[in-house]
Amino acid sequence: MTNRKLRTLIVDDELHARHNLEMLVQEYCPSLGPIEMASSVKEALEVIDLFSPEVIFLDVCMPGKDGFQLLEELDTEKVHVVFTTAHNEYALKALKEGALDYLEKPISIDDLERCAERVMKRHVQSGPSTEVAKEIMKYSNLREMDRTTIPTSDGFIVVKSADIVRLEACESYTRIYLDNEEKHLSSKNIRVFEDSLNPDIFFRTHKSHIVNILYHLKGFSRTDGNVALLSNGIKVPVSRRKLNEFLQRASA
């Protein structure tokens, strides 16, 4: 199959918001389409039954049922949900409850393009390895996915992937260490980050550790056990199971 795109649904009670986002998606997200629209949760459920969208851009605040109530009825393993709202206080809740991404209104073109790239990456990772998946990848922007969204206790931050030195599991949470010595605690499990981070940049050395192997790996030592030496002076363990793959990646 050629020219395969992802069926997309825009749900927003404001007519101008629906049409504005439709125009942006058509112009800047060639991997998404055809596009259907709905003005309420009730209408969205009817469209979903007929259209089976693979991507949903979902507003939070709408008359009657809101976006979170629609999210409760969706299988987020089968559809990629992106919240769109002017109220950024909903960001953490959206990500916690299964949304793939979050766009703050007014939606910027750069944020929308990065979001489309995340959708494509997640769709290909979760789907079968077929010619359809390969065609989808052709539509995604092949530039490095250099930004990472980190949900925090009071919202979220977006950082350059090059600025992340390492990630460490902290029970069911994840602590992210940046090269400016900032630390952030995310509500997401480290496995979520492993699935979403660019594999060309990051490598999971251990069940509790992910390191930035492209920008911050400075060496490897067997003296104190198998450890990766990072740019901030920290030594991170490399499990025996991961050792051969780590050494291959480090020497590539």
- 1 is a domain residue: no
Per-residue tokens: 220: 């490897």
The pair of structure tokens assigned to 148 is 């990472």
pLDDT tens-digit profile of 184-202? 888 888 998 888 888 888 9
Q: What mean pLDDT value characterizes the chain?
A: 84
- Examine the domain organization and report whether 106 and 177 are in the same domain: no
Q: How far apart are CA 180 and CA 59, in angstroms?
A: 35
Whether 26 is covered by a domain: the verdict is: yes
CB 237 within 8 A of CB 225: yes
Q: What percent of the chain clears pLDDT 70, i.e. is strictly above it?
A: 88
Boundary (domain end) residue, out of 123, 139, 155: 139
Residues of the chain falling short of pLDDT 70: 1-3, 88-89, 92, 126-146, 153-154, 251-252
- Looking at the structure, tell me whether residues 163 and 69 fall in a common domain: no
In this prediction, residue 64 carries a pLDDT of 87
Whichever domain contains 230, its CATH number is 2.40.50.1020
pLDDT tens by residue, 94-147: 777 778 888 888 898 988 998 898 888 888 776 544 444 444 444 444 334 467
Query: 107 and 19, same structural domain?
Result: yes
Residue closest to 187 by CA, chosen among 176, 203, 198: 176
- pLDDT given at position 96: 74
Give the total number of structural domains in the chain.
2
What is the model's pLDDT at position 213?
92
- Is residue 165 within 8 Å of 230, Cβ to Cβ? yes
Q: Which domain holds residue 220?
A: 147-251
